[in-house]
Structure 1
Amino acid sequence: MGRTATRELVVSDADTAVAVGSGSLPVLGTPVLLAWCESATCAALELPEGQTSVGTRVSLEHLAASPVGQTVTVTATVAYVDGRLVRFTVEARMGDKLVGTGEITRVVVDAERFMSRLGG
């Protein structure tokens, strides 16, 4: 536990609420912030070949706007592990300003077996 991963991303026009359809302003869209947080959780996991993880639960507070051109630093930290279940705390910052905070839960699965169960 306690393993972390950090990603630094720059807000582009494609990342804005207006671009992704989640609002009308040219600032970082909440769906993009969530994707960045999930990406950090994936980076924090070191899984053997053939294993992956799937998201099962998300709680995210988007606290501050981030304009195009700003760098947002996203950090995911393993907070809890129970077998295949891994819960992370996530935090996004723009410099010293807290942009978002939350919790993401992922479950480790065998990739081939998971896909075979989809049946289509």
Structure 2
Amino acid sequence: MTLAPGLRARILTMVETSDTAAKVGSGDVPVLATPRLLALAERATVQAVADALGPGQTSVGTKVALEHLAASPVGAHVEIAAELTEVDGRRLVFAFTARDRHDTVVATGTIERAVVDRERFLSRAAR
């Protein structure tokens, strides 16, 4: 498999107390926290390209745009779908959408990642 637009992944999650803004410190309400939503969207982007990366390669996040449009209380089921929309050398651009069981759009956005050599990246990070 090669890195090309159209690669996709979906993640289905149920909002737990540990996922809430009140618990992660990004607010004081018991609904899905924006940082937690972003982490799930990033996980979907990682999964979308996992089988298409070469040996020793990984991808790292470089840029995010996220619109959090609807609250998701504890117990709500949210599905995050990510699709690779652009490949420009090492730069990968993904679009994502999160929806609840009622098909309400919870969030939309884009995530950019860069393909890197895992060992070289880790050795530079350790400096």
1:79 match: secondary structure: strand
**What runs of 5+ residues in structure 1 fail to find an aligned partner?**
none
Q: TM-score, normalised by structure 1?
A: 0.97
Q: CA deviation at 1:109?
A: 0.3
Residues 57-116 of structure 1: per-residue CA shift (max 9 Å, x gap):
000000000000111000000110011110000100002100000000000000000111
Partner Cα distance (1:16, 1:9) in 2: 13
Partner Cα distance (1:111, 1:49) in 2: 9
Q: Which runs of 4+ in 1 moved over 3 A?
A: none
1:112 aligned onto 2:116 = no
Residue equivalent to 2:36: 32
Partner Cα distance (1:41, 1:118) in 2: 22
Residue equivalent to 2:75: 69
Residue equivalent to 1:17: 21
Alpha-carbon RMSD: 0.8
Between the two proteins, the alignment pairs up a number of residues equal to 120
Identical amino acids, percent of aligned pairs? 53
**What runs of 5+ residues in structure 2 fail to find an aligned partner?**
none
1:42 aligned onto 2:46 = yes
Q: TM-score, normalised by structure 2?
A: 0.92
Partner Cα distance (1:21, 1:55) in 2: 22
